[in-house]
Copies of this chain bind each other. A is one copy, B any other.
Amino acid sequence: MTTTGPTSDQPTGPTQSTKPTTAELTDAERISASLALLWGTQERTARGPKRGLTLDQIVSTALTIADTDGLDALSMRRVARELRVGTMTLYRYLPGKAVLLDLMLDAVSDPAKDIAQCQGKDWRGVLEVVAHSSRRRYLAHPWLLQVNWSRPVVGPNTLAGLEFVVSTLAGLGLTDQERFSVMISIDGLVVGVTRAQLHHEAAVAASGVTDAEFWNRHLPVLSKAMLSGEYPAMAALSEDAYGLGWDETFEWGLQRVLDGIQALIESRRQPADQPPEPASQPPRPA
C-alpha cells in the first residue's frame, strides 16, 4: 500500500524526510538504493539497448546546478533539460531525487587531497587541516548545509575521511568514545559557525545593509519598543566589535576547542599533576 503514500507515516514523528509530495520510496528504501549505487558496481546485463547516460553525468550536472543557482533551482526537470533528455529518463538511473542528493553528498567529499596535506603533522595539525578543509567545502557548496539534514548515507569518500581521522587520534590516551567526541565536536563547530556565516552573508547581500548600519538602525527602535530596560551592553560595544572576519572568528573558536582537547590529553599524560580533575565530569579515565 505504498501508493498514494500518506504525507507522514514515519515513526520518527517530526523528523521526517524532505519532500513527501507523491513519494513512494520510504527512507529505508532510499538508503538502501543510495548505498547500492554508491558502493555497488553491478555489471550491465545488456539485453536491451545501451544506456545513453551515466550516473556520473547526472550527478555532476546536478552539482553544477546546485553550486551555481542554489538548491532551490535543482529539480529533476532542470537536470534533465540540461542533459537534453526527458525528465523521466533520469528515473531509469535513480529511483528519485532523494537518492540523487545522497550521491551528490558523497561526490563532494573527497578527502584525498586533505590526507596528503597532513603528512608529518601531529594530531592537532591534522585536526586543523581537516577542519579547514571541511569548512572550505561548505563554503564552496552552501547547499550542503541545507541538505545533509536526514541523509547520512556513508559512501566511500565519507568513510575514508572518517578512517583517517580516527587513526590519527590513536595513542593519545583518549577512549574510543572520546575520539568520536573529538570528531563530532570539531565537525559541529565547523558546521555551526559556517552555517552562521552563510546565513549572515545571505542576509547582508539581500538587504544591502552592513552590520553596523543594521544594528544602529534598529537599536533605537528596540529601546523604544521595550519599556523595561534598554540594551546597555549591546550599545556599549565598540564599532569594530563586528570587525573580526568570519575566518578569524572560526579560527579563534577552533583554537579554543583544540586548547581544551590538548589540556585533557596532557592531563592524561601526567595524571600526577592534577588530583581529580573535575572540569567536566569526564568519562572516567580509570
Contact = CB atoms under 8 A, between A and B. Distances in A.
Interface of A: 7-8, 10-20, 26-28, 31, 35, 39, 41, 66-70, 72-73, 142-143, 145-146, 148-154, 156, 159-160, 162-164, 166-167, 170, 176-181, 184-185, 187-193, 195-196, 198-203, 205-208, 218, 221-222, 225-226, 231-234, 237-238, 240-244, 248-249, 251-264, 266, 279-286
A153 B199 CA distance: 10
Nearest 3 interchain pairs by C-beta: A188-B192, A255-B280, A185-B253
B188 A233 contact: no
Given A7-B69, A72-B16, A185-B189, A244 B28 contact: no
| Most chain B beta-carbon contacts within 10 A, residue among A31, A162, A207, A286 | A207
B252 A181 contact: yes
B142 A185 contact: no
25 contacts: A7-B69, A12-B205, A15-B201, A16-B69, A17-B202, A18-B72, A27-B202, A35-B218, A39-B222, A149-B198, A150-B202, A176-B240, A180-B241, A180-B244, A181-B249, A184-B253, A187-B192, A188-B189, A188-B195, A191-B195, A244-B283, A253-B257, A254-B280, A255-B279, A257-B257
Contact of A188 (B70, B181, B248, B253): B253
A105 to B, nearest CB: 12
Contact of A192 (B7, B166, B181, B190): B190
Contacts of A185: 189, 193, 249, 252-253, 256-257
B187 A15 contact: no
A27 B200 CA distance: 13
A249 to B, nearest CB: 5
A226 B150 CA distance: 26
Given A15-B205, A238-B176, A255-B280, A149 B146 contact: yes
Contacts of A31: 203, 206-207
A140 to B, nearest CB: 9
A229 to B, nearest CB: 9
B39 A206 contact: no
Contacts of A249: 177, 180-181, 184-185
A20 to B, nearest CB: 6
Contacts of A184: 193, 196, 249, 253
A257 B255 contact: no
